[in-house]
Amino acid sequence: MGIIGPASILHVEGNFSIGDSYVNSHARILCGDEITIGDDVAIAWNVEILDDDRHEISIGGTTSEQTAPITIEDDVWIGHDVSIHKGVTIHEGSVVASDSVVTSDVPSNTLAAGTPAEVIRENVSWGGSE
């Protein structure tokens, strides 16, 4: 059973599921489409998980998708003040460094950091994934 910490906002219009995981305080989760959080996921405080832009945007006459699912697989650790955007999968055993903005998939057992987040280390494991 998942735990979502105090002072967090969980706004669900789509399909939201969380395994045996923990989301710390002051998280902001907007689920307009689908957000799946696996087991043994540790999400620090002040994290945003947004699968919906809440508006459309056109570039060169092509309208972007407004929503896309987010998947956070098992044994992932997400640092504080991270923002996770639509259409992203964070694969098993990965770590996302604090203050990162995740706009593309994070491969298994890697450390991703930055704005936008990029893989900076491979073959990573942490306490939840060992």
Q: Return the bridge partners of 11, or none.
A: 30
- The reply to whether 55 belongs to the active site is yes
**Beta strand pairing call for 70-72 and 89-90:** parallel
Question: Which residues have C-beta within 8 Å of that of residue 66, sequence separation ≥ 6?
Answer: 32, 52, 53, 54, 55, 56
Question: Peptide bond before 69: cis, by omega within 30 degrees of 0?
Answer: no
Given 11, 55, 80, 85, which residue is catalytic? 55
Cα-based distances in Å from 122 to 100, 112, 119: 17, 9, 7
Catalytic residues: 55
